[in-house]
Amino acid sequence: ITKTKRPPSRPTIVHVARAAGVSKSTVSRALQGNDASVKPETRQAITRAIRKLRYERNAIASSLRTART
């Protein structure tokens, strides 16, 4: 039996949070632009993780979550 490899899944904010060493809530706040609630050093760690993982925001998932299109 030949196993076929699945394409790698898209990174989520959970992956970014793990890579940056923060909570997914912190990543969410940083992505929303809440400058006062996220320290600059933390924002830099999140930005590095986003670049490393090639994270891209999923607009469809976001609109479902917020009930907005």
pLDDT at 68: 58
Half-sphere exposure of 49 (CA within 13 A, CB side): 24
Q: Give the model confidence (pLDDT) of 11-54 as tens digits.
A: 999 999 999 999 999 999 999 886 788 999 999 999 999 999 99
Residue 7 CB contacts under 8 Å (≥ 6 apart), including other chains: none
Whether the pTM exceeds 0.85: the reply is no
